[in-house]
Amino acid sequence: MRTEGMKEYSNFTDSLDDFLKSFKSGNNESWRSQACKLVDGLASEELRRLVSIEARRDFGAFFTESALAEKVLRHSKFRLSRGSFCYDPACGAGNLLIAIVNVINQTKFKFSITDKVYGTDIHNEFVNATRLRLAINHLLRNDSEFDNAQLHRQICVADGLINNKFYEQATHVFVNPPYNVADANESLTWSKGKVSQAAVFMDKIIEFISPGTAITAILPDVLRSGSRYEKWRAIVNKTCRIEGLELLGQFDKYADVDVFAINLVKRKKALSLSVPTLLEQGANVEPEIMESSFDVCVGPVVDNRDPRKGQSLGYLVSKKLKDWSEINSLNLKRRHSGRSFKSPFVVIKRTSRLGDRHRAAAVIVNVPDPIYVDNHLIVVKPKSGRLNDCKQLLKILKDNRTNNWLNQQIRCRHLTVKILSKLPLWR
């Protein structure tokens, strides 16, 4: 298979290599801030800067934004255990694998996770970038180096359309396959002419993995809705149980293609008859609600009850908070022995009235150090840790649908964590 065209990307991998070598234990803030960029959006920015659009289109090389990858993962209910083996057969610069590491790290997962992610790509430059970015991400999260030889065993150059040992070992596949269109191979049973390589790739993944393996895939919407892919959909229905499907809208601001996420589990035995399933109905299984993307709790400090003992930190109270603002510094301080919160997060005033213009008046907190929060406020922390998600949430809380929904759910003056956790995140 032809693989040239990505050579320029090695300028980026060289800089990753230099950066990794510059790590010294107890690394400083500027190292960390550059590391954060390198494991987040910079890999895609550099792809757009260094590689021509023709080459990117030829190989369907468009990297998934971390926010999208992490959102898809959270909704897919990826359940990992000590023996898990997560594989991306078209890993690009490793965005999906890094998302797995970061999402799983935020849970109570007891095992090391970097050694459970495996990836292949046909481009050597991307394979190198994935190894280096996983190593940088590991340093960033654990402050310790990851075994380089092990990374070389986990991330390799391979054609994902040909069977390999990773497919057989995988318990989970997370993939965003190339979307380029190419002539159908003569052996293809479900279409003739030009077909999306995403459908071809999915065919191969399903063929090669073991029964019981879970697949989470981000796919172009045409596979779900196009008449050309009717037979392909029937094959997927027969060979896999469809556990969830979510429409995601435009892939990103650079690639004008609508995408959806699907969760499949390969059946032990293919069905002989095709049954209508989510894939045909195209349904969004569950509306997204607050608790799927945010952790919600009441501020723990009861000022007139709790002793002023423990570490002295900034202390956020409800009084004088300007609705819909962003706080970047705090004057009030207090000692407390309970939980403190790291920015960014949102606080919602607990007390509101039925007639209030906004029932869930909120403020973004984005201060440098951890702070204590008073119990007249509800703390809403994005699982992603992103300021952007806080900003999106403020828009949702301001939305009239939120007022109407809350008025239906709660008649009394106090908002509760239980109800807020179920708030639909209106699109």
Ligand X SMILES: C[S@@+](CC[C@H](N)C(=O)[O-])C[C@H]1O[C@@H](n2cnc3c(N)ncnc32)[C@H](O)[C@@H]1O
Q: Is 30 left (phi over 0), alpha (psi -120 to 50) or beta?
A: alpha
In the complex, minimum distance from the CB of residue 67 to ligand X, in angstroms, rounded to a whole number: 12
For residue 94, CA distances in Å to 199, 273, 316, 355 come to 21, 38, 39, 50
- Asked if 70 interacts with ligand X (CB under 6 A), we say no
- Asked if 64 interacts with ligand X (CB under 6 A), we say yes
* Number of residues binding to ligand X, judged by CB under 6 A: 23
Q: Which is nearer to ligand X, 218 or 279 (CB)?
A: 218
Residue from 126, 146, 167, 405 that binds ligand X (CB under 6 A)?
126
- Asked if 344 interacts with ligand X (CB under 6 A), we say no
Of the listed pieces 58-66, 102-110, 223-231, 262-270, which binds ligand X according to CB under 6 A? 58-66
In the complex, minimum distance from the CB of residue 45 to ligand X, in angstroms, rounded to a whole number: 13
Q: Which is nearer to ligand X, 121 or 374 (CB)?
A: 121
Of the listed pieces 153-161, 183-191, 208-216, 236-244, which binds ligand X according to CB under 6 A? 153-161
Q: Which is nearer to ligand X, 63 or 294 (CB)?
A: 63
Contact 366, 328 (CB under 8 A): yes
Q: Which is nearer to ligand X, 98 or 278 (CB)?
A: 98
- Asked if 173 interacts with ligand X (CB under 6 A), we say no
Of the listed pieces 33-41, 56-64, 164-172, 187-195, which binds ligand X according to CB under 6 A? 56-64
In the complex, minimum distance from the CB of residue 284 to ligand X, in angstroms, rounded to a whole number: 21
- Nearest residue to ligand X by CB is 92
- Asked if 403 interacts with ligand X (CB under 6 A), we say no
In the complex, minimum distance from the CB of residue 88 to ligand X, in angstroms, rounded to a whole number: 5
- Asked if 91 interacts with ligand X (CB under 6 A), we say yes
Residue from 39, 72, 101, 122 that binds ligand X (CB under 6 A)?
122
Q: Which is nearer to ligand X, 46 or 88 (CB)?
A: 88
Q: Which is nearer to ligand X, 99 or 394 (CB)?
A: 99
In the complex, minimum distance from the CB of residue 157 to ligand X, in angstroms, rounded to a whole number: 9
Q: Which is nearer to ligand X, 92 or 314 (CB)?
A: 92
3-state secondary structure the chain: CCCCCCHHHHHHHHHHHHHHHCCCCCCCHHHHHHHHHHHCCHHHHHHHHHCCHHHHHHCCCCCCCHHHHHHHHHHHCCCCCCCCCEEECCCCCCHHHHHHHHHHHCCCCCCCCHHHEEEEECCHHHHHHHHHHHHHHHHHHHCCCCCHHHHHHHEEECCCCCCCHHHHHCCEEEECCCCCEEECCCCCCCCCCEEEHHHHHHHHHHHHCCCCCEEEEEEECHHHHCHHHHHHHHHHHHHEEEEEEEEEEECCCCCCCEEEEEEEEECCCCCCCCCCCHHHHCCCCCCCEHHHHEEEEECCECCCCCCCCCEEEEEECCCCCCCCCEECCCCCEEEECCCCECCCEEEEECECCCCCCCCCCEEEECCCCCEEEECCEEEEEECCCCHHHHHHHHHHHHCHHHHHHHHHHCCCCECCHHHHHCCECCC
- Asked if 220 interacts with ligand X (CB under 6 A), we say no
Residue from 40, 46, 88, 374 that binds ligand X (CB under 6 A)?
88
Residue from 92, 220, 314, 344 that binds ligand X (CB under 6 A)?
92
- Asked if 63 interacts with ligand X (CB under 6 A), we say yes
Residue from 40, 70, 121, 203 that binds ligand X (CB under 6 A)?
121
Residues near ligand X, by CB under 6 A:
59-64, 88-92, 95-96, 120-123, 126, 159-161, 176, 178
